[in-house]
């Protein structure tokens, strides 16, 4: 008999018209789906209420500094050791893990059209197609970037990733992420983050779903410092939503997939592992609506560095040198006087993977379409194409609103290696790297 228990009425919190979530970033949250399931004033009582087991999930070393220390206590029907079995290798599909040197491509900017949906039923996990890898997962440094195009919900299938956390960027179709901590519904324009080690399954409310994933092997995503900006703007903590507790008390055949050490493993279970009745702590999945981002930018002249649009950052041991930054480009006003307003031409020690959720990106009026993606790797030149350059050089510089577009970037300190799958995709635009050739010489030493 299948029994799915919804969150208790008392633990539902209204947050921006979204019931079932708690607000804040990295708070010491607590939530219970049954009254009294959470121990009061202690973590590990001799006997937990309702016959639950207590289990700690540590996302940071025990001794990490307080500001970086992440853990949660889960009160569950069975501990995770009971949701276990003899693991065998699962079909790996096209999921790759760094280091992965499948190809040796000449250095060039790269861009792809959106990938299509498969004709055969494909789950969120099966759909994970790695485009780039960077760093080394075993060293807990670097990232992988994946795209997914899924066509079936995960039923009685569960997954957790030991190699990194997953930052999911839906682009076409929403996701309903049933996690140990509760349910997250993420639509295009929103992002969801599943921390390392958190079990979940993905349902597709729209029947299919496409998007991007940053698998972060490094330090957990956190909010960037604001410096002189002060206490407000950019991504505000209150706009991050963490689900209230919801559990499945379901006996019956199930399968758990685990990605560990770059390999996808599977084991058969006799019940759902999403059996956490109550939890508390600061290590939990969350979602965020990118349209809540409050941009800050140049008010008089010049074009600021894109770091002003950083939503989340995974810091490294080197100050100011992110393992990966997640950056969005939301609606905003362009007001700078006597300024070339699009992004300038540049070369960067950081490598940049870009995607477009909807709309049109200002530096690339053509060829970069929603669902597509581009890679501007370490120290490779890039900038506006000829259309964008000519238009911006001649534009009337009245205040102008860029609206109806949402691009994003995964920017990492590591060079990104393209997988052989990505290199052979028919969606790879063969002539993209030539766009610079169309920028003609304008130099005239006789005219300043
Ligand atoms: Fe760039």
- Each residue's pLDDT tens digit, 47-76: 999 999 999 999 999 999 999 999 999 999
Q: How far is CA 255 from CA 4, 86, 87, 158, 240, in A?
A: 18, 11, 10, 6, 31
Q: String of b and e for 225-243 (b: at least 16 CB within 10 Å)?
A: eeeeeeeeebbbeebbbbb
Q: Is the dihedral of CA 300, 304, 310, 315 positive or negative?
A: negative
The pLDDT value given to residue 8? 40
DSSP assignment, residue 135? E
pLDDT at 109: 95
CA of residue 306 to ligand 1 center, whole Å: 8
CA–CA distance, 140 with 167 (Å, rounded to integer): 16
When mean pLDDT is compared across 29-38, 133-142, 189-198, 381-390, the lowest value belongs to 381-390
For 231, the 3-state DSSP assignment is coil
**Strands 165-172 and 209-216, how do they pair?**
antiparallel
Give me ligand 1 centre to Cα 189, in Å. Answer: 22
pLDDT at 321 over 90: yes
Residue 328 CA, ligand 1 centroid: distance in Å: 13
pLDDT exceeds 80 at position 1: no
**Look-up: residue for tokens 């559990």?**
247
d(CA 308, ligand 1 centre) in Å: 13
Query: How far is residue 436's CA from residue 439's CA, in Å, rounded to a whole number?
Result: 6
Q: Given this model, what pLDDT does residue 19 score?
A: 85
Helices (H), 302-448: 386-394, 420-424
Query: What pLDDT, on a 0 to 100 scale, did the predictor assign at position 17?
Result: 53
- Residue 180's alpha-carbon distances to 109, 156, 229, 275, 338, in angstroms, are 40, 14, 36, 7, 53
Dump pLDDT digits (tens) for 333-383: 999 999 999 999 999 999 999 999 999 876 666 789 999 999 999 999 999
Place of tokens 């569960």: 158
> 150 with 208: CB under 8 angstroms?
yes
Question: Do residues 162 and 139 lie in contact, with contact meaning Cβ atoms separated by under 8 Å?
Answer: no
User: Does residue 4 surpass a pLDDT of 90?
Assistant: no
The residue among 58, 89, 71, 82 whose CA lies nearest residue 261 is 89
Phi, psi (rounded to 5 degrees) for 391: -65, -45
Question: Does position 7 have pLDDT exceeding 60, yes or no?
Answer: no
Dihedral of the CA atoms 292, 293, 297, 303 (nearest 10)? -120
Q: How far apart are CA 416 and CA 414, in angstroms?
A: 6
DSSP string, 71-88: EEEEEESS-GGGS----E
- pLDDT over threshold 90, residue 132: yes
**How many Å lie between the centroid of ligand 1 and the Cα of residue 310?**
14
Q: Closest Cα to residue 20, out of 285, 336, 203?
A: 285
Helix (H, G, I), strand (E, B) or coil at 432: helix
pLDDT band for 205, please (50, 70, 90 cuts): very high
User: Of these residues, 83, 303, 400, 437, which one is catalytic?
Assistant: 303
Average pLDDT, the chain: 94
As a whole number, mean pLDDT of residues 379-401 equals 94
Whose tokens are 């220390």? That residue is: 69
**pLDDT number for residue 18:** 74
Is 303 a known active-site residue? yes
The alpha carbon of 196 and the centre of ligand 1 are apart by a number of angstroms equal to: 29
pLDDT, average across residues 142-146: 98
Strand spans (E) along 173-246? 175-179, 182-186, 190-194, 200-203, 209-216, 240-243
Q: At 354, list the tokens.
A: 């870009």
Residue 366 is predicted with a pLDDT of 74
- Ligand 1 centroid, distance to 343 Cα (angstroms): 8
| Residue 277 to residue 8: CA distance in whole angstroms | 10
Q: According to the model, what pLDDT value does residue 412 have?
A: 98
Listed in sequence order, the residues at least 6 apart from 124 whose beta carbon sits closer than 8 Å to its beta carbon are 148, 150, 154, 175, 202, 204, 209
């Amino acid at each position: 008999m299948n029994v799915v228990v919804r969150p208790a009425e008392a633990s539902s919190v209204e947050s921006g018209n979204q019931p079932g979530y708690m607000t804040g970033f990295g708070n010491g949250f607590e939530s219970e789906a049954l009254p009294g399931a959470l121990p009061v004033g202690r973590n590990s009582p001799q006997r937990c209420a309702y016959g639950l087991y207590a289990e700690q999930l540590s996302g940071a070393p025990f001794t990490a500094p307080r500001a970086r220390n992440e853990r949660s206590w889960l009160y569950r029907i069975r501990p995770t050791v009971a949701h276990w079995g003899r693991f065998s290798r699962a079909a790996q599909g096209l999921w790759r893990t760094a280091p992965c040197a499948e190809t040796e491509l000449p250095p060039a900017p790269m861009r792809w059209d959106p990938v299509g949906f498969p004709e055969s039923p494909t789950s969120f996990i099966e759909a994970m197609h790695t485009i780039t890898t960077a760093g080394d997962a075993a060293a807990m440094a670097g990232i992988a970037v994946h795209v997914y195009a899924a066509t079936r919900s995960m039923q009685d299938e569960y997954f957790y990733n030991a190699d990194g956390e997953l930052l999911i960027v839906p682009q076409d179709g929403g996701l309903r992420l049933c996690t140990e901590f509760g349910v997250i519904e993420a639509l295009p324009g929103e992002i969801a983050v599943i921390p390392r080690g958190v079990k979940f399954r993905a349902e597709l409310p729209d029947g299919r779903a496409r998007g991007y994933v940053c698998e972060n092997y490094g330090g957990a995503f956190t909010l960037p410092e604001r410096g002189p900006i002060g206490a407000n703007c950019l991504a505000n903590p209150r706009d991050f939503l963490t689900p209230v507790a919801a559990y499945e008390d379901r006996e019956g055949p199930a399968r758990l997939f685990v990605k560990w050490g770059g390999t996808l493993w599977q084991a058969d279970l006799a019940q759902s592992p999403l059996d956490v009745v109550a939890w508390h702590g600061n290590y939990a999945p969350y979602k965020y609506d990118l349209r809540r981002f409050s941009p800050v930018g140049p008010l008089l002249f010049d074009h600021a560095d894109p770091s002003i649009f950083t939503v989340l950052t995974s810091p490294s041991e080197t100050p100011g040198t992110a393992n990966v930054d997640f950056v969005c480009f939301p609606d905003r006003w362009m007001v700078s006087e006597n300024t070339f307003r699009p992004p300038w031409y540049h070369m960067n020690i950081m490598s940049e993977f870009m995607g477009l959720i909807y709309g049109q990106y200002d530096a690339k009026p053509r060829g970069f379409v929603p669902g597509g993606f581009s890679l501007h790797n370490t120290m490779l030149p890039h900038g506006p194409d000829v259309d964008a350059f000519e238009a911006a050089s001649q534009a009337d510089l009245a205040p102008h609103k860029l609206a109806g577009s949402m691009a994003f970037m995964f920017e990492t300190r590591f060079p990104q290696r393209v997988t052989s799958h990505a290199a052979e995709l028919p969606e790879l635009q063969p002539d993209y790297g030539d766009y610079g050739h169309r920028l003609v010489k304008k130099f005239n030493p006789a005219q300043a």
